[in-house]
Amino acid sequence: GQSLEQPSEVTAVEGAIVQINCTYQTSGFYGLSWYQQHDGGAPTFLSYNALDGLEETGRFSSFLSRSDSYGYLLLQELQMKDSASYFCAVRGSNDYKLSFGAGTTVTVRA
């Protein structure tokens, strides 16, 4: 099976940088994804890393180290609208399911 760990909460001010770490244990590994969910809404896809390294998409970047079973999501130039929950998810190579972490609630203060 798969297990993922990420911090439960992070608070930061507008304009700051936040890093959300995710460590995982899987039976096989295919890739690490990140999703954003605003309160009461549907999760939306942010990024996917299958190979080691940094992927940058605008203000958000995602990093993966397969050897360390570790990844992170970096939120830069924080805005109030970035207040949401962020989930990491992994797909092991033994099945086709995505397993999600419990989520990190990011609160952005003025």
What minimum distance in Å lies between the beta carbon of 35 and another protein?
A: 8
Specify the stretch interacting with another protein by CB under 8 A; choose among 14-22, 27-35, 55-63, 68-76: 27-35
Report how far residue 51's alpha carbon sits from residue 55's, in angstroms, rounded to the nearest whole number: 10
48 binds another protein (CB under 8 A): yes
Q: Token pair for residue 28? A: 């096989």
Residue 16 CB contacts under 8 Å (≥ 6 apart), including other chains: 78
Residue with smaller CB distance to another protein, 1 or 15: 1
SS3 at position 80? helix
Interface residue list for another protein (CB under 8 A)? 30-31, 33, 41-45, 48, 50, 87, 91, 96-103
